Chain A
Amino acid sequence: MTFSPWRPVLAGIGLIALLAGDMAPPAHAAENRVQASNLLLYQVGRDPNTPENDVTRFFDHVQLDYLAGEFRYGLRADLYRTSEAGQVYENITQKYLEWSNRNLDVRVGNAYATIGRGLLFRAFELPGIVREVNTITDSKYADSRDLEGAVVKGRYGRFRIQALTGRPMAYPDNPPGLGFLIRRDGTVSGGHIGVDVGRGVSVGSGYMRADGFVFAGDADRQEYGSFDLALDGSRLAPALSAAGWDVRLYAEYAGRHWTPITDPFSTVDGNPHALYTSAALAYDRWSLTYETKDYRDFSLAFNDPPNLVPELTPSLVNRRSHFLIADDERGHLIGLQGAAWRDWTIHYERADARTGEDPNRLRYRLNYLELAGPPLADTRGSIFLAEGRDDLEALAGHKTIGFSLEQSLPQGFAATGDVEYQQVERPYNEGEPDEVLVSMTVSHAGTGSVSLVWEQSNDPQLTDDPLTLDIETASRRWLGVIVQGSLNDNHEMGIFVGKRRGGTACTSGTCYLVPDFEGVEVRLTSRF
């Protein structure tokens, strides 16, 4: 496939047109109005794991809203084009009508909702994330796992009520336009009612009915129930609060075909359930949190219970995250955060997960310690240590160390440097391959930033070139330059040039796979 100069020219015209729009004189704001946002992604390059070169990809995601008083009508559309054999499409991906006031939100069409902490149901999106699929067939799409139906959320004094019905997105979601993959599966109906019973005690109960899901197996209809309890220590025992302490407890249990009278909170094998608990104890700027999970036969295709993996900022650590197995997983997460002195902070996380019949065998473990603060005036730094294992990522072990320094410079400039080093242990390889990530950024307040990101790895999982018959062992390197900035009040632009490493990426606790990329990528986000 040859590269055509027309494509960037046409995209450039679109870009200039967007900017030209701002030169028009502003009109007065109206009570009823249209608002819009747009995400445009343009790539010229290749995935080094596929034979195609000079592939051109164009993705556009637009959202239009018409607002009239308490009503909002919205429309979303995605468009994808690629020069290689791929799943091109143009779809209206969402339509909704919403009415809301202080006490009630009613949305018909595509909607989002979470029952409790997501044990029973969670319809959500990852704003700004463009998912890519290069394995089944090339495609890009916005990550929106919404419910197509209706959602009502109400708050009346001490009561919180939520009701929903509709067709959820199949989970994990599939790209639009792929006719041979089920994108929406079955229907769900249910809701949740919560009440603040006073003195810091809140209780709630949820119900969900699922019909026509292909996973259901023994019955076409499945029913689920849940119960949750939240305690706010400062209201329950004001003396604690007066002494500066804050204690909060939360527990939620959900079960399939649950009979709460005869079998209230059973966690035995063979009883499909999910149990999540959390406790938080805080004093001054210090806090300790402890969370537990116990999930059995509870991958419902439309739920998303807490995975209890901490979201961390270092790239090499966060990449070693894991995917939850809600059909068989138990684990803990302990977190300690505090301010040591002045503005120095300490952050420790310990997470583990067990699965299978051997309760003593950890299939996931993470220990993370970070110290961050200002070593000098106008300088901010952090250093971290991490170690762990993750069977799902075929990691028998990993050890990571890194530091970051940010220096404020005159006239609104700042320079940042990050270095991360990781040793990994693969169960089927001798030795400990390592990975290095170095990034340097110069930024200017209100303008933008320029970053250089360099990575190297000799991990056998990454060094082999799948396009050759040989088994390559030489280190692989990735070097990329990222320029980001505000073009004006309405437009943010990012340009990537170089090689970008793919793999697991996690945003807001949700992990997904990103393919490798070599080339040029332009990303423009606009809001009007």
Chain B
Amino acid sequence: MVDSKFSRIAAAFAISMVLAGPALAQLRAGQESALDFTLDDLRGAPVTLSDVLADGPVILDFWATWCKPCRKALPRLQKLATQYEGRARVLAISIDDPRSRTKIAPTARSLGITLPVLLDGDKTVASLYRVSSIPTTFLIAADGRIMAVHNGYRDGEIKKLESELNRLLAEGTGP
């Protein structure tokens, strides 16, 4: 016996997605603009995304000290940042809550990370970017378009990100 109320709700959900899908799909990666934000770095200095974008494309990586795949991804992102120095920048946004703040700098150091680490303890920016799992990595063109979103980290993911970055740099989207 089908629970009629349950079925009505599920059907209403399905129909609403049919109607809303095409309208919402216009906001696909590549069309969506990155939202500006200001966060403090580990020294307490404010960093604003639009200022960083003025120098070229930016990779935003949301991570936390307790996240195993994040710890695998960060050293590879560091290599990418070194390789593309002057052409693109990587910002590592820690969503560790304020209670874990003491661990952030030591974790970054032990992993050999010299990337700018920004603090989003209240997850305000993570919420703005609708991050529901970590790591989540965004590739943002200098004009603010979000070109790619990577959820999670799997071996080889950074190579894919690198080819997307190369494509973006080849497009020549300048500030």
Q: Which residue of A lies closest to B121 (CB)?
A: A114
CB pair B132–A39 under 8 Å, yes or no, is yes
CB pair B110–A35 under 8 Å, yes or no, is no
Contacts of A408 in B (CB 8 A): 155-156
CB pair B6–A7 under 8 Å, yes or no, is yes
Given A14-B10, A525-B133: A248 and B105 interface contact (C-beta under 8 Å):
yes
Q: How far is the CB of B156 from chain A (nearest CB, A)?
A: 3
Partner of B109, one of A306, A337, A449: A337
Q: 7 closest A-B pairs (Cβ-Cβ)?
A: A21-B21, A311-B66, A445-B156, A414-B155, A287-B106, A24-B22, A128-B132
Per the 8 Å Cβ criterion, residues 2-61 of B in contact with A are: 2-3, 5-7, 9-11, 13-15, 17-18, 20-22, 24-33, 35, 38, 43-44, 46, 48
Given A112-B123, A114-B98, A412-B159: A22 and B25 interface contact (C-beta under 8 Å):
yes
A20 within 8 Å of B (CB atoms): yes
Contacts of B122 in A (CB 8 A): 112-114, 124
A182 within 8 Å of B (CB atoms): no
Q: Measured between alpha carbons, how far is A139 from B102 in the docked complex, in Å?
A: 36
Which B positions have Cβ atoms within 8 angstroms of A? Answer: 1-3, 5-7, 9-11, 13-15, 17-18, 20-22, 24-33, 35, 38, 43-44, 46, 48, 64-68, 71-72, 75, 95-103, 105-107, 109-112, 121-124, 126-128, 130-133, 145, 148-152, 154-157, 159-160
Q: Which residue of A lies closest to B15 (CB)?
A: A17
CB pair A35–B130 under 8 Å, yes or no, is yes
CB pair B6–A83 under 8 Å, yes or no, is yes
Contacts of B2 in A (CB 8 A): 4, 6-7
Given A10-B10, A29-B32, A508-B97: A37 and B17 interface contact (C-beta under 8 Å):
no
Q: Which residue of A lies closest to B37 (CB)?
A: A100
Q: Measured between alpha carbons, how far is A28 from B11 in the docked complex, in Å?
A: 31
Q: Which residue of B lies closest to A202 (CB)?
A: B44
Per the 8 Å Cβ criterion, residues 61-92 of A in contact with B are: 63, 67, 72, 79, 81, 83, 90
Q: Measured between alpha carbons, how far is A11 from B9 in the docked complex, in Å?
A: 10
Q: How far is the CB of B21 from chain A (nearest CB, A)?
A: 2
CB pair A35–B32 under 8 Å, yes or no, is yes
Contacts of A18 in B (CB 8 A): 17, 21
Contacts of A414 in B (CB 8 A): 154-156
* Binding site secondary structure of chain A: strand
Given A4-B1, A445-B156: A127 and B11 interface contact (C-beta under 8 Å):
no
CB pair A446–B157 under 8 Å, yes or no, is yes
Determine which residue in B18, B68, B102 has the highest number of CB atoms from chain A within 10 A of its CB, and name it.
Answer: B102
CB pair A250–B17 under 8 Å, yes or no, is no
CB pair A56–B26 under 8 Å, yes or no, is no
A: number of interface residues (CB 8 Å): 105
CB pair B102–A289 under 8 Å, yes or no, is yes
Q: Measured between alpha carbons, how far is A324 from B154 in the docked complex, in Å?
A: 34
Contacts of A11 in B (CB 8 A): 10, 14
Contacts of B154 in A (CB 8 A): 414, 443-449
Q: How far is the CB of B37 from chain A (nearest CB, A)?
A: 8
CB pair A343–B21 under 8 Å, yes or no, is no
Contacts of B7 in A (CB 8 A): 6-7, 10
Contacts of B13 in A (CB 8 A): 10, 14, 60, 79
Determine which residue in A18, A339, A484 has the highest number of CB atoms from chain B within 10 A of its CB, and name it.
Answer: A18
Partner of B99, one of A113, A202, A509: A509
Per the 8 Å Cβ criterion, residues 121-154 of A in contact with B are: 122, 124-125, 127-128
Q: Measured between alpha carbons, how far is A377 from B100 in the docked complex, in Å?
A: 33
A232 within 8 Å of B (CB atoms): yes
Q: Measured between alpha carbons, how far is A10 from B150 in the docked complex, in Å?
A: 29
Given A10-B11, A34-B27, A489-B29: A445 and B157 interface contact (C-beta under 8 Å):
yes
Given A22-B28, A155-B46: A313 and B66 interface contact (C-beta under 8 Å):
yes
Q: Which residue of B lies closest to A196 (CB)?
A: B44
Q: How far is the CB of A390 from chain B (nearest CB, A)?
A: 18
Contacts of B32 in A (CB 8 A): 29, 33, 35
Q: Measured between alpha carbons, how far is A235 from B5 in the docked complex, in Å?
A: 64
CB pair A250–B102 under 8 Å, yes or no, is yes
Contacts of A60 in B (CB 8 A): 13
Q: Measured between alpha carbons, how far is A338 from B107 in the docked complex, in Å?
A: 8
Q: Measured between alpha carbons, how far is A39 from B131 in the docked complex, in Å?
A: 11
CB pair A26–B10 under 8 Å, yes or no, is no
Contacts of A444 in B (CB 8 A): 154, 156
Q: Which residue of A lies closest to B130 (CB)?
A: A37
A183 within 8 Å of B (CB atoms): no
Q: Measured between alpha carbons, how far is A228 from B24 in the docked complex, in Å?
A: 46
Q: Which residue of B lies closest to A6 (CB)?
A: B2
A118 within 8 Å of B (CB atoms): yes
Q: Measured between alpha carbons, how far is A93 from B1 in the docked complex, in Å?
A: 31
Q: Which residue of A lies closest to B32 (CB)?
A: A29
A-B contact pairs, 29 of them (CB 8 A): A11-B14, A13-B14, A21-B20, A24-B22, A26-B25, A26-B31, A37-B132, A79-B9, A81-B10, A112-B123, A112-B124, A117-B98, A125-B127, A127-B127, A127-B133, A248-B102, A280-B106, A311-B65, A311-B66, A408-B155, A443-B154, A445-B160, A446-B150, A489-B30, A492-B151, A508-B96, A508-B100, A510-B97, A525-B133
A102 within 8 Å of B (CB atoms): yes
Given A246-B105, A446-B157: A305 and B99 interface contact (C-beta under 8 Å):
yes
CB pair B31–A28 under 8 Å, yes or no, is yes
Q: Which residue of A lies closest to B72 (CB)?
A: A380
Q: Measured between alpha carbons, how far is A405 from B48 in the docked complex, in Å?
A: 39
A222 within 8 Å of B (CB atoms): no
CB pair B100–A509 under 8 Å, yes or no, is yes
Taken residue by residue from 282 to 297, chain A's Cβ proximity to chain B (1 for < 8 Å, 0 otherwise) reads as 1011111101000000
